[in-house]
Amino acid sequence: MSAARQAAIGIGYSDTLPCEAESARRARQLVTDALNRWGIDELVDSGALIVSELFTNSVDHTRDRVARVVVRRVAKDRIRIGVADRSREAPEMTNPDEHSENGRGLAVIDALADRWGYDLHGWGKVTWAELRVRGGESEQ
């Protein structure tokens, strides 16, 4: 295992972005850059789509002016991507009909992520999803 990967455990990247649709691109870039730096580029596509859906949910379902995007390597075999906003409203997976243009974000996250959830805080919530790093368990 390289020293860079070992040092990456517990390290994260974050950015506070305006709650507008155009900021989803910056959120995807943050996740892409972090995953590439950690040498786990096989998760870039899934990670970018997950953060895009999480960020879009904050834009669509809160009245916040900003949201905070965080990506952390929480263990050798696990990446956590989260979006913090000031809403305390719990995210809910919906069941849109086949003609709906919206409402599939959490279903996409559920399909891509190893697990996902949210943490409520006094100031709001963090909605997060975790991706498993293949081979991460054996890198000890």
Spatial contact of 65 and 74, defined as CB atoms under 8 Å apart: no
List the CATH code of the domain at 3-139: 3.30.565.10
Quick one: pLDDT at residue 5? 38
What length is written for the chain?
140
Q: Which residue has the higher pLDDT, 91 or 71?
A: 71
How many other CB atoms are found less than 10 A from the CB of residue 26? Answer: 14
Helix (H, G, I), strand (E, B) or coil at 86: coil
Position 65 confidence tier, pLDDT thresholds 50, 70, 90? very high
pTM, to two decimals? 0.84
